[in-house]
Structure 1
Amino acid sequence: MLVPVIDISALFEDDPEGWEVVEDKLYEAHTTVGFSILTGHGIPPRMMNDVFAASARFYALPLEQKLAYRYGANLRGYLPLNTSTLIRSTLGSARKPNHSESFIVLDELDEGLREQWARSAVGGHQVWPRDAKFEIAVRRYRAAMSRVAHAVVRCFSCMLGLQHDGLDRYFARPNPILRLLHYPALPNREADQFGSAPHTDYGCFTFIAQDNVGGLQIKAADGSWFDVPTIEHALVLNTGQIMEAWSDGLFTATPHRVLNHREQSRYSIGFFYDCELNTRVMPLTSMPEPRCDCTPQPKTYGEHLETMLRANYSFTN
Structure 2
Amino acid sequence: MSAIKILDVEKISLVRDDISPEDVADVGAEISDAFQHIGFAYIKNHGIPQDVIDNAFKSSLSFFKLEDEVKSMYPKGGDYQGWVCEGREIFDQDEDGKIADHEVRETYDLLNISSGGKFPDKDCPTLRPALVKLGELSVKLSLRILQCISVSLNQDPEYLLNQHQGVLDQGIGDIATNGSTLRSIHYPPISEDEARPGIVRCGEHSDYGTFTLLFQDDMGGLEAKSVDGSWVLADPVPGTILMNVGDLLENITAGRFQATRHRVRIPEEELRRKCARQSIAFFVHPDDEVLCEPLSGPDSRYPPVTAKQHLYNRLSATYGAAMMEQK
Question: In the alignment, does 2:38 pair up with 1:38?
Answer: no
- Equivalent residue for 2:263? 257
Kindly tell me: are residues 218 and 211 of structure 1, through their superposed partners in 2, closer, same or farther at Cα, counting changes over 3 Å? same
Distance in 1 (alpha carbons) for counterparts of 2:264 and 2:242 = 13
Q: What number of residue pairs does the alignment pair up?
A: 292
Distance in 2 (alpha carbons) for counterparts of 1:143 and 1:60 = 25
Question: In the alignment, does 2:141 pair up with 1:148?
Answer: yes
SS in 1 for 2:283: strand
Q: How do 1:27-176 and structure 2 match up within 5 A?
A: 27-86=32-91, 97-107=102-112, 126-129=117-120, 130=122, 131-174=124-167, 175=178, 176=180
Which one-letter code corresponds to 1:267 in the other structure?
A: Q
Shift of 1:229: 2.7
Q: Map Cα deviations across residues 186-205 of structure 1 (whole Å, 9 max, x no partner).
A: 25345784221100111101
Q: Map Cα deviations across residues 220-249 of structure 1 (whole Å, 9 max, x no partner).
A: 233322211312342100011100000111
Q: 8 Å contact 1:5–1:38 — kept in the other structure?
A: yes
- Equivalent residue for 1:224? 230
Question: In the alignment, does 2:286 pair up with 1:275?
Answer: yes
Shift of 1:265: 1.0
Which one-letter code corresponds to 2:229 in the other structure?
A: G
Q: Map Cα deviations across residues 93-126 of structure 1 (whole Å, 9 max, x no partner).
A: 99764221101010289xxxxxxxxxxxxxxx74
- Equivalent residue for 1:290? none
Q: 8 Å contact 1:206–1:272 — kept in the other structure?
A: yes
SS in 1 for 2:110: strand
Which one-letter code corresponds to 1:39 in the other structure?
A: K
Kindly tell me: are residues 250 and 49 of structure 1, through their superposed partners in 2, closer, same or farther at Cα, counting changes over 3 Å? same
Shift of 1:47: 1.0
SS in 2 for 1:31: helix
Identity %: 25
Kindly tell me: are residues 81 and 159 of structure 1, through their superposed partners in 2, closer, same or farther at Cα, counting changes over 3 Å? same
185, 188, 213: which one aligns with 1:184: 188
Segment drifting more, 269-278 vs 252-261: 252-261
Shift of 1:272: 0.8
Distance in 1 (alpha carbons) for counterparts of 2:204 and 2:88 = 16
288, 302, 307: which one aligns with 1:301: 307
- Equivalent residue for 2:5? 4
Q: 8 Å contact 1:90–1:199 — kept in the other structure?
A: no
SS in 2 for 1:81: coil
Distance in 2 (alpha carbons) for counterparts of 1:190 and 1:302 = 39
Q: 8 Å contact 1:99–1:193 — kept in the other structure?
A: no
RMSD: 2.8
Which one-letter code corresponds to 2:61 in the other structure?
A: A
Shift of 1:308: 1.1
In structure 1, the gaps of 5 or more residues are 110-124, 288-296
Q: 8 Å contact 1:239–1:252 — kept in the other structure?
A: yes
Q: 8 Å contact 1:86–1:97 — kept in the other structure?
A: no
Segment drifting more, 278-287 vs 46-55: 278-287
Question: In the alignment, does 2:271 pair up with 1:266?
Answer: no
Which one-letter code corresponds to 1:52 in the other structure?
A: F
Distance in 2 (alpha carbons) for counterparts of 1:257 and 1:242 = 19
Which one-letter code corresponds to 2:166 in the other structure?
A: R
Shift of 1:32: 1.2
Shift of 1:267: 0.4
SS in 2 for 1:128: coil
Shift of 1:16: 5.2
Q: Give the structure-1-normalised TM-score.
A: 0.83
Distance in 1 (alpha carbons) for counterparts of 2:232 and 2:94 = 19
Kindly tell me: are residues 193 and 312 of structure 1, through their superposed partners in 2, closer, same or farther at Cα, counting changes over 3 Å? farther
